[in-house]
Structure 1
Amino acid sequence: MTLAYWCVLVAILLPYLCTATAKFTGGDYGPRANSDPRAFLAGLDGWRKRASNAQLNGFEVTPAFAAAVIIAHQAGGAGQVLLDQLALAFIVSRLAYFVCYLADWGPLRSLVWIVGMGLIVSLFVVSA
């Protein structure tokens, strides 16, 4: 299995890091909150709300990343090292995105998001 494929697994798991941060860092997530976790998350504010928002964005972007990695492998137009580097750079961008979201650095977060989307596009372009 290639590093790029492992990065797909990491990308799948990253949103759960975000939601765990939102739910479990305040000490108020218990059995009552677990009966309706979406309502609990909707009622958060501040950096915990932003962690929940980062989770949602992670679930939105991960399918595109996974498709790009799979298609890049199948197309075979790029070397494996380059695919691995692009995939790893995407994971780094998602971690940076999460940090920017938590810190409420909106403009930087948007820039990091653009970089991540550019990396997805790059996986297609280098394999063409």
Structure 2
Amino acid sequence: MPFVLWSLLLAAVLPLIWAGVSKAGTRYDNGRPREWAGRLAGYRQRANWAQQNAWEALPAWTAAVVAAWLMKVPEAAMNAAAAVFVLARVAHGLLYVADKASLRSLAWLVGMLAGLYLFLRAGGVIGL
């Protein structure tokens, strides 16, 4: 299976990893999870925010992959974009947890540009 399709699974697992970071070493309240998360602070709070952002990025990435796949963008181009996206999203979460806002924003932008690239390739706008 091409890496671009595996990237969908990886992108869906990333929010779960950040959720785990936010909950690790604390007494998690499964009865009131949103209330519990609202009381988080420090790196745990930022990990929860990274989780939320990772969920938000998933639909756009999925749409970009589907569009590229349906329009038969070359596999090598899709795999390269997927590698950039996955690395950018991992970096985004790590930088979120580490409280490196400017670098985190750069990682977010790189991930979004990877999805945009797939859309533009699917639309025939660019051929690189």
Query: Could you state the TM-score of these two structures normalised by the residue count of structure 1?
Result: 0.91
1:78-93 equivalent positions in 2, closer than 5 A: 78-93=73-88
Structure 2 alignment gaps of length 5 or more = none
Shift of 1:85: 1.1
Aligned amino acid, residue 65 of structure 2: V
Shift of 1:58: 0.6
Q: Does structure 1 residue 74 correspond to structure 2 residue 63?
A: no
Coordinate RMSD, CA, aligned: 1.0
Deviation string, structure 1 residues 35-64 (Cα, Å, up to 9, x no partner): 111111110000100000000001111000
Partner of 1:51: 47
Counterpart CA distance in 1 for 2:33 and 2:23 is: 9
Query: Could you state the TM-score of these two structures normalised by the residue count of structure 2?
Result: 0.91
Q: Does structure 1 residue 10 correspond to structure 2 residue 14?
A: no
Aligned length: 123
Deviation string, structure 1 residues 5-41 (Cα, Å, up to 9, x no partner): 11001101110000010012xx2224xx121111111
4+ residue segments displaced more than 6 Å: none
Counterpart CA distance in 1 for 2:13 and 2:34 is: 18
Identity of aligned residues (%): 35
Structure 1 alignment gaps of length 5 or more = none
Q: Does structure 1 residue 121 correspond to structure 2 residue 116?
A: yes
